[in-house]
Structure 1
């Protein structure tokens, strides 16, 4: 029997955990679904990654109200993917912050990404009709930007490409806590369909050099303690390096994309098959890794039509 496309058959609700990972710093995690996070300062809050719809963002807002009555001043977008950004309007924030590269990617491929992601994983778009349109950053930066929430300093850093070319992290120096977005996952597959796989490990090294005491990752449980942080960084590095290594070998041997899929499974299934969204991500990951190993530096834009054609081909459905 053919597998359902991507995660269209995954309708199981996930348990949300809202945990403190540092003083007035919180991770909103959901068993492998996209995470958000909250940074509370003296005069307001930052929400890091908005969720996919305003209705889903309201679940984050409800949790914020349990820990503070301070206003949500800023929404920070770690990157451009629809499941991270399309809920931003619910926060009524004074600023929506992202890298200049993320803004460029929204212009170039934001609508295609929205259509693609909604088609792949409809459960993540609860009350999709509540989305008013594409989310546009109102504050952008290149390199670094600092936001002050009273005395609390929050550094936003374009630390290097990995999950996308526009990734940023948030670093809170007074607590030595980082918010990584999808640059780091924990017991969840990395989605690599728009990735820069050769660069990603060096970006992880940059994160490691901060020696964070805790990290709110893009997916998976909050990472508390330096040992857990280092485990997650190593696990993410192993995932992306194994993926790219299998593709690089396949390209060198002249294998087809479908043959590369089989070779990748041999390497990755034993280590990562139990991870959340592994099967969902794998065809998109293999496609991007194969392209990058073959010399296509910038990810090809995913469309709803391209998604299904690729899925059928790699899953042996057509």
Structure 2
């Protein structure tokens, strides 16, 4: 029998923290599970990333209601992955915002991604029967847009390709708080199965150029100081750069995927092996890095069947 996905054995509930980063910004974090950002404006609330199911989203709503009774009017999708978007319906938002590139990915592979992620992360899809279907944005944009929550300015920016081709950040310029989605992780392994390795470091530099005073990453603790934010940016960049460099070296030397995987595990394990979901992410990350090194520019679609085939061959 093939070894199960590393994440399938992760069944323990995580401790939730709801941190205030500035006057208007909060981070919902859960020990390496997907994070959600919250911005409370003068007249309404904006949520950044929605959780995997409406039932899971209720945990976010409960925390929001401890600090405000204002209506949740906006949900922003940092990218298309199921664990980030399928809980959106719970918020009753008037507007669902995503980059045009993210919408393209939902059209192209949203359903396959849903089935794939559900298989990988059963705990995150609690009460999956509450999901009404794929989440579709009501507003899309190409490069950037600004939303005003009363007097609170929120810049929504397609920062560049990295974790996916549609990565979107939210930025509070007055308070210098950044919501990065999975472009940045902290103490958690970046999932790079749909990534653009050669672009990702440049995209991170654009985030660094904002000089954030605080940052809510896609996974891991909310980063409450400029130094902590830089640590998150630098750690993510180092992981991505080291992994791609090692896999590219193997691929260009003629090694097969298994050889590239073994080399990457040996190189990265000592430094990053204690990061959350390291063993789960590495097969997917190496597979995508190997493809990119071999000249496959756009990530191949992950299906439940492809997941299992890849996992068997590497694990």
Paired residues of 1:6 and 1:121 also in contact (CA < 8 A): no
Give the distance between the partners of 2:233 and 2:59, measured in 1 at CA.
28
Distance 1:238 1:267 in 2: 12
Residue pair 2:161, 2:167 contacting (<8 A) in 1 also = yes
Deviation digits for residues 62-82 of structure 1, max 9, x if unmatched?
100001111101000000000
Query: Residue 191 of structure 2 aligns to a residue in which SS?
Result: coil
Matched, 1:57 2:62: no
- For structure 2, the residue ranges without an aligned partner over 5 or more in a row are none
Structure 1 residue 148 and structure 2 residue 145: aligned?
no
**Are the counterparts in 1 of residues 3 and 312 from structure 2 also a CA contact under 8 Å?**
no
Query: Does the CA-based 8 Å contact 2:6-2:277 persist in structure 1?
Result: no
Aligned twin of 2:302: 302
Mapping for residues 116-131 of structure 1, pairs under 5 Å: 116-131=116-131
- The corresponding residue for 1:267 is 267
Q: 1:5-24 alignment to 2 at 5 Å?
A: 5-24=5-24
What residue number does 2:44 align with? 44
**Mapping 1:207-222, distance limit 5 Å:** 207-222=207-222
**Distance across 2 between alignment mates of 1:262 and 1:159:** 32
Q: CA deviation at 1:9?
A: 1.6
Number of residue pairs aligned between Structure 1 and Structure 2: 315
- For residues 138-168 of structure 1, the C-alpha deviation after alignment (integer angstroms, 9 at most, x for no partner) is 0100000110000001000011110000001
Is the Cα contact below 8 Å between 2:2 and 2:312 reproduced in 1? no
CA-CA distance at 1:24 after TM superposition? 2.1
Q: Within 1, Cα distance between the matches of 2:89 and 2:291?
A: 35
Q: Distance in 1 between matches of 2:192 and 2:307?
A: 14
Aligned structure 1 segments of 4 or more residues deviating by more than 3 angstroms: none
Q: How far apart, in 1, do the equivalents of 2:44 and 2:119 lie?
A: 36
Contact 1:159 1:203 in 2 (8 A): yes
Matched, 1:282 2:282: yes
State the Cα deviation string for residues 168-210 of structure 1 (Å, max 9, x = none).
1000011010000000000000000000011000001000011
Cα 1:105–1:2, aligned 2, differ >3 Å: closer, same or farther? closer
Aligned residue for 2:193, secondary structure, equals coil
Alpha-carbon contact 2:6-2:280 (below 8 Å) kept: yes
Q: Retained in 1: the 8 A contact 2:97–2:138?
A: yes
Look up the match of 2:312. Answer: 312
Give RMSD over aligned pairs. 0.9
Structure 2 length as normaliser, TM-score? 0.99
Tell me the CA shift for residue 2 of structure 1: 5.8
SS of the residue corresponding to residue 117 of structure 1 reads helix
For the residue of structure 1 that corresponds to 2:160, the secondary structure is coil
CA contact (8 A) 1:77 1:98 kept: yes
- Distance in 1 between the 2:190 and 2:7 partners? 15
Q: CA deviation at 1:101?
A: 0.5
Q: Secondary structure at the match of 1:39?
A: strand
